Amino acid sequence: MAEQFISAIESSLDKTNLILKDIENAYGWPKEQRNQSYAALRTVLHLLRDRMPVQESVEFAQQLPIVVRGIYFDGWKPSDVPVKLNREDFLYEVRQGFPYDVEGGTERVVQVVLDTLRRHVTQGEWDDVKDTMPRDLARMMP
């Protein structure tokens, strides 16, 4: 039993590092900028989570690695969602949660994280997530 637990955690860490590396590779960031890739992932994940209805949010989270799922649910208040955010509100909130100046600005941060997340969940689940977004936000999603 302990071996299965360790294997599950190691696998989740590997998958989490892959997601963070995907973000870093999109920017050409070295691993030393892991705080930036983490901040980008965390910020966009939390805003997606808070924009979705509870059931869809939980279904999406089930496809994330355990470690990323922990990041995703950290601080979540299901009774306070979904939060109504249009595209401009979403980008504003990303700017608040991601304090780094990067090439392409906030929109690029969002696009990189969304592209990365899309590669790590099924197409069907991603389509379900997109369907919960207002049209102007859904257009940003791959």
Residue pair 89/47 in contact by the 8 Å Cβ criterion: no
Query: Could you tell me the domains of the chain?
Result: 1-139 (1.10.490.110)
Distances (CA, A) of 56 to 22, 35, 44, 106, 120: 25, 28, 16, 25, 16
- Model pLDDT for residues 58-94, shown as the tens digit of each residue: 999 999 999 999 999 999 999 999 999 999 999 999 9
Give the containing element (helix H, strand E) for 11.
helix 2-27
d(CA 43, CA 49): 10
Task: Judge if pTM exceeds 0.85.
Answer: yes
Any residues with CB less than 8 A from the CB of 74 and at least 6 apart, and which? 42, 46
Give pLDDT < 70 ranges for the chain.
Answer: 1-2
> What is the pLDDT, as a whole number, of residue 4?
78
